[in-house]
Structure 1
């Protein structure tokens, strides 16, 4: 467990910007800066999580593709309405978790880490749903 305690603490701390971006418009009204920050932070965290799947030299070709498949479309998200981009990001967090759970390393992870990954993905997904809703109905 000790080797995962920092991961667990940092994982939960990483939720604060997501929660802050959901709470900000509820307390102070919606604004485009908040929506942009949420989107960019989501992209950064998704890229980080997908990058953790990358195990150069230790994986099959199909697992290497899984590590990058969710982030390859990211540059094209700027051409989509923000709601669609956020929906792609929300689903991508689940894909990364599914890919991680399918990896052989998943079984060696501590149960607390596995639980944390599910909780974080769930909360991030719900934050995306709220943010999509707030962008559709800003007032």
Structure 2
């Protein structure tokens, strides 16, 4: 990552952390039906999260990496939003896959984005919805 990209990522993470403390999840970024459909991926491991996939429970396959060119370094977090198509379909239940820099991965099935705001990864074999 370039210095500018690193600085912007750090500033964004700090802004998200401070706004998360002051804005109730129910009022933060809701869809047309009033539900919030996003997840903060929190990396509490010693490795970088290289990829993150999220799809509604009725879609086969993982689709595109939702991080794009970004990564989530150790100790950092990033808010990830499903695609517009996925949000418009009205699903709350999503399957998620986290891929670490050492190619280990963790899958979580049926995470309810309408009532969960964090996916906390504590090891390369354990990520839990909170």
TM-score, length basis structure 1: 0.33
- Determine which structure has more spread, i.e. the larger CA radius of gyration: 1
**By percentage of residues, which structure has more strand?**
2
TM-score calculated relative to the size of structure 2: 0.34
Greater share of helix residues, 1 or 2? 1
